[in-house]
Amino acid sequence: MRYLLLLLCLFGGAVIAAPAQQGKAYMSLIIDDLGQSSARDSRTLALPGPVTMAIMPDTPHATEFARQAHKAGKTVILHMPMDPATGPYAWHPGTPLPELAQRLDAALTKVPYAAGINNHMGSRMTSQAEAMAWLMGELQRRHLFFVDSRTSAATVAAASAQSIDLAQVSRDVFLDDVRTPEAIVRQLQLGIELARKQGSAVLIGHPYPQTLEVLEREMPRLKSQGIELINIQQMISERSNQAMPAHGRQGRYTNR
């Protein structure tokens, strides 16, 4: 199966996580918007465990931090700007495919060691079926995976990836739409409860001081709460390319 072959390429012979044992609760954490501040980048890099670093290409420290994170053994992904995001790399509806390809190439050059990509913003762009189908084919050709940040219920991105067996996973919980420690703790608890209920949860946060404060305090406590933090590649394997109940039916994404 093409999906399994791609996983072998992604993991380079590493041991792939076995299916969840009964009672297991897995969590993956992605921190978006990195590359803007050396201080926040360094603080994020110091978080314990296999935290995925999503680096924006149009930031002053993108390339330097990608190399630093890779050297530290963290998974690096390209945080690809998509409409309504702006800037030299951003994808917009109606942009010709050759221009989208050029922007993707340029962004991947700015973020070396990227193992996959996720969308920055993108509530308009991820609903564009033709562009998303092209992107998933291109990622498959490059042996990269896709994380759908799900910034809109109208996204067809994960469904496009699933339709060609591209390794993909979707976000379940945003940690910090409300930037207070109390709200972030509640969202983290929601992620914990969801991981216990469905066996896994993918959380996305940002390098805000409040978010980092909560994660620095709470991440060391996850194990005692029955949560195993795994990297995003292991999460892709764990979910076997299937949609979670909130995103589809019987493992298939329904928003396509």
**Alpha-carbon span 128 to 152, nearest angstrom:** 12
Predicted confidence band at 16 (pLDDT cuts at 50, 70, 90)? very low
What whole-number percentage of the chain has pLDDT above 90? 89
pLDDT in tens, 52-87: 999 999 999 999 999 999 999 999 999 999 999 999
pTM above 0.85, yes or no: yes
- The closest alpha carbon to 77, from 37, 126, 14, 28, belongs to 28
pLDDT in tens, 131-140: 999 999 999 9
Q: What is the pLDDT of residue 23?
A: 75
Domain 2-12+26-243 belongs to what topology?
A: TIM Barrel (3.20.20)
**What are the helix (H) ranges across 36-169?**
38-45, 62-71, 97-110, 129-142, 157-163
Q: What is the mean pLDDT of residues 178-197?
A: 98
125, HSE (Cβ side, Cα atoms, 13 Å): 25
Region for residue 78 given its phi and psi (left: phi exceeds 0; alpha: psi -120 to 50; beta: otherwise):
beta
Work out whether strand 145-148 and strand 114-121 pair parallel, antiparallel, or are unpaired.
Answer: parallel
pLDDT in tens, 221-237: 999 999 999 999 999 99
